Amino acid sequence: MTPAPKDLIAYFSMEIALASEIPTYSGGLGVLAGDTLRSAADMGLPMVAVTLLYRKGYFLQHIDAHGHQTETDVLWAPELYLERLPNEVQIHIQGRDLRVGLWRYRIIGFDGHQVPVYLLDTDLEGNHADDRRITDHLYAGEERYRLTQEAVLGIAGRQMLETLGLQPTRYHMNEGHSSLLAIDLLKKFWESTPDPSLEACMAAVRKLCVFTTHTPIPAGHDRFPRALTEEVFGVKPVEMVATIPRLLNTELNMSVLGLELSGFVNGVAVRHAEVSRGMFPGHEIHAVTNGVHSATWTSPAMQAVFDRHLPGWRRHGHTLRSAQRIPTAEIVAAHRGAKQILIDTINAQGPHGFEVDRFTIGFARRVTSYKRLTLLLRDVGRLHEIASRWGSLQIVFSGKAHPKDLEGKRLIEAVFRQQEALRPYVRMVFLPGYNMNSAARIVAGVDLWLNTPTAPLEASGTSGMKAAHNGVPNFSVRDGWWCEGYIAGHTGWVIDATHTGDTPADDQDAQRLYRTLDEEILSLYFGNQPRWAEMMRDSIALAASYFNTHRMLEEYATRAYGLSLPMHPTHR
Ligand SMILES: *Cc1c(COP(=O)(O)O)cnc(C)c1O
């Protein structure tokens, strides 16, 4: 990567997964942000990132013997992980001044290149007591709390970069939470241009802004009633914004802001971009399919295999395309090592009786209705019968439900309720406290990675890409990244889900899942181990080699950031 010295990409995200124990993330969006920055550091990309500090984190998940989830604040000491900086900015919201302070985390790449991450903090003396809590919790509180957080992220965040002497040549808004930065930029151009025209100022903003949408659910886009925006920003500024066509009517829609004020807009998979074009007609929406940071999500044992056979894989994800040269026995052995670690972790948490020789299915992600945590358990009789014929099955579940998502919490309880009904042939465990560390263990240690979203609601999904890096085939509904990643007979299997009107046909989908699991997956696993091992290797060669953030960031760099990349050295 040889960027012009002036190039600087500023990446804004409401959540960023910096490290497992830094509680500034809730799920896929934050992990994607972290993986993007880890790849930027490896690739030497000139990038900085902005997010909020979250002194109380997302939440700690507690699950009782009945599967009932409760939450407590995360207690963590930012000073153990971050560096406090003296910089400060002041913005004016809710009719008063708000001081915003700054912390820094450094992501250090493979060659020592650094990507600084700036975390904004409102817990400063002199701030109103309510305001000191703005940067306490990720995704908690009411609408007003969220809007003030987004003001801090977008407006104070942009201005903070200025006080640091940075002049980004692109602002990448990872989801609509930071879209207010585009309004703030517009205001800056308006105020600093003699005799400004709205068209010229908007064109200047669009040149600088890149917007990635992540949500195929209309209700998933942040929207704020106009009256609330007036309370937070004042009547006059809101009136000014409302004179701009399409930006603000009865409500402020953060995705519309991102779309209207960005020169490059994308969805996070080919399918998701299609769905987004339907949601926002009249906008050009590109597809840049997500990836994961290969070195972060490959188990240490499998990393050693890659290092032996595919040197260069840490620098160029596509090197994994040559995985065919790895003897399958080495992949199987590395996977078995990772599986043993997972099994030991599970058994250390209770008398679960998991064994390394049993076929193990994994399902771990945010618990929210559309992901259908319990689809696999829809017909426990059928599942038990299948398991009894093949010997036995083990299932590992994990994931957090948002504190206010009562339906999600009920799904976790449903998993616990079925535990006894499935004995003795199916052993099932729900691991509490899903985070980056446990995610890495689970994706690497199971035999099959299951994903059952109601299509087309999974924008991309990334946990399956992590599984692929560890030689774990996927079994998924045709949605998100899997529309691109599924190669029949090589990377895994599909659950051909159906829809009757607007309601997902859960019963039918479950029956198809069982049939494929029984007749294709288990019969291959138990009947043809060499073919299974080839599918493990093909998952690396055909899925991991493409679905990584190095490839993804190259696409952003050349298509959205205006950077040029040198040609890659050829595979070794
Ligand atoms: C990868 C990851 C996710 C995303 O999982 P999906 O299956 O893509 O929803 C969520 N949470 C954590 C902790 C992860 O590591």
Look at residue 567 in the predicted model and tell me its pLDDT.
40
Expressed in angstroms and rounded, the spacing between residue 399 Cα and the centre of ligand 1 is 9
- Our answer on whether the CB atom of 317 is closer than 6 Å to any ligand 1 atom is no
For 47, other C-beta atoms within 10 Å of its C-beta total 30
Peptide bond into 456 cis (omega under 30): yes
DSSP alpha helices (H): ranges in 270-368? 270-279, 294-297, 300-309, 328-348
Q: How far is CA 464 from the centre of its chain?
A: 12
Give, for 253, the enclosing helix (H) or strand (E).
Answer: strand 251-253
Look at residue 564 in the predicted model and tell me its pLDDT.
82
* Mean pLDDT score, 291-317: 97
Region of poorest pLDDT, from 16-20, 170-174, 500-504: 500-504
- Our answer on whether the CB atom of 367 is closer than 6 Å to any ligand 1 atom is no
Measured CA to CA, the distance from residue 359 to residue 391 in angstroms comes to 9
* Atom of ligand 1 lying closest to residue 464 CA: 7
Residue type, 129: A
| Residue 69 neighbours by CB under 8 Å, 6+ apart | 61, 62, 63, 400, 401, 409, 412
Region of poorest pLDDT, from 17-26, 321-330, 504-513: 504-513
Residue nearest to atom 1 of ligand 1 (CA): 463
pLDDT at 166 over 90: yes
* Atom of ligand 1 lying closest to residue 466 CA: 1
CA 327 to each of CA 18, 80, 183, 537, 553: distance values in angstroms, whole numbers, following the listed order: 34, 43, 55, 9, 30
Split at pLDDT 50, 70, 90, the class of 117 is: very high
Expressed in angstroms and rounded, the spacing between residue 443 Cα and the centre of ligand 1 is 10
- Our answer on whether the CB atom of 179 is closer than 6 Å to any ligand 1 atom is no
Measured CA to CA, the distance from residue 469 to residue 545 in angstroms comes to 8
pLDDT at 144 over 60: yes
Measured CA to CA, the distance from residue 139 to residue 154 in angstroms comes to 16
For ligand 1, mutation pick of 16, 18, 24, 31 (most atoms within 8 Å of CB):
31
For 85, other C-beta atoms within 10 Å of its C-beta total 17
For 500, other C-beta atoms within 10 Å of its C-beta total 8
Q: What angle do CA 218, 220, 222 make, to 5 degrees?
A: 105
pLDDT digit string, tens, across residues 504-562: 689 999 999 999 999 999 999 999 999 999 999 999 999 999 999 999 999 999 999 99
- Our answer on whether the CB atom of 436 is closer than 6 Å to any ligand 1 atom is yes
Count of alpha carbons within 13 angstroms of residue 24, beta-carbon side = 29
* Mean pLDDT score, 561-569: 68
Measured CA to CA, the distance from residue 234 to residue 245 in angstroms comes to 20
* Atom of ligand 1 lying closest to residue 292 CA: 1
pLDDT digit string, tens, across residues 335-358: 999 999 999 999 999 999 999 999
Expressed in angstroms and rounded, the spacing between residue 31 Cα and the centre of ligand 1 is 7
Measured CA to CA, the distance from residue 111 to residue 418 in angstroms comes to 49
Look at residue 370 in the predicted model and tell me its pLDDT.
93
The mean of the pLDDT values for the chain is 95
The answer to whether 466 and 443 are in contact (CB under 8 A) is yes
Residue nearest to atom 12 of ligand 1 (CA): 27
- Our answer on whether the CB atom of 31 is closer than 6 Å to any ligand 1 atom is yes
* Mean pLDDT score, 26-43: 97
Look at residue 572 in the predicted model and tell me its pLDDT.
32
Residue type, 252: L
* Mean pLDDT score, 188-192: 96
Measured CA to CA, the distance from residue 258 to residue 177 in angstroms comes to 9
Measured CA to CA, the distance from residue 179 to residue 300 in angstroms comes to 38
pTM listed for this prediction: 0.96
Q: How far is CA 522 from the centre of its chain?
A: 30
Split at pLDDT 50, 70, 90, the class of 6 is: confident
Q: Roughly what angle, to the nearest 10 degrees, separates helices 529-538 and 328-348?
A: 90
Expressed in angstroms and rounded, the spacing between residue 354 Cα and the centre of ligand 1 is 23
DSSP alpha helices (H): ranges in 101-142? none
26 — alpha (psi -120 to 50), left (phi > 0) or beta? alpha
pLDDT digit string, tens, across residues 387-423: 999 999 999 999 999 999 999 999 999 999 999 999 9
- Our answer on whether the CB atom of 362 is closer than 6 Å to any ligand 1 atom is no
Look at residue 497 in the predicted model and tell me its pLDDT.
76
Peptide bond into 424 cis (omega under 30): yes
Residue type, 108: I
The answer to whether 28 and 461 are in contact (CB under 8 A) is yes
| Residue 194 neighbours by CB under 8 Å, 6+ apart | none
CA 190 to each of CA 88, 90, 196: distance values in angstroms, whole numbers, following the listed order: 24, 20, 6
Expressed in angstroms and rounded, the spacing between residue 161 Cα and the centre of ligand 1 is 29
Split at pLDDT 50, 70, 90, the class of 181 is: very high
Structure tokens belonging to residue 58: 């997302």
The answer to whether 213 and 175 are in contact (CB under 8 A) is yes
The answer to whether 156 and 120 are in contact (CB under 8 A) is yes
Beta pairing class for 47-52 and 9-13? parallel
Residue reference for tokens 């919790």? 137
For 366, other C-beta atoms within 10 Å of its C-beta total 18
pLDDT at 500 over 90: no
Q: What is the DSSP letter of 401?
A: B
- Our answer on whether the CB atom of 133 is closer than 6 Å to any ligand 1 atom is no
- End-to-end CA, the chain: 19
- Our answer on whether the CB atom of 122 is closer than 6 Å to any ligand 1 atom is no
Give the torsion through C-alpha atoms of 315, 318, 322, 324, to 10 deg. 110
393: helix, strand or coil: strand
| Residue 529 neighbours by CB under 8 Å, 6+ apart | none
Measured CA to CA, the distance from residue 200 to residue 188 in angstroms comes to 13
- Our answer on whether the CB atom of 229 is closer than 6 Å to any ligand 1 atom is no
| Residue 491 neighbours by CB under 8 Å, 6+ apart | 468, 473, 474, 485, 535, 538, 539, 542, 543
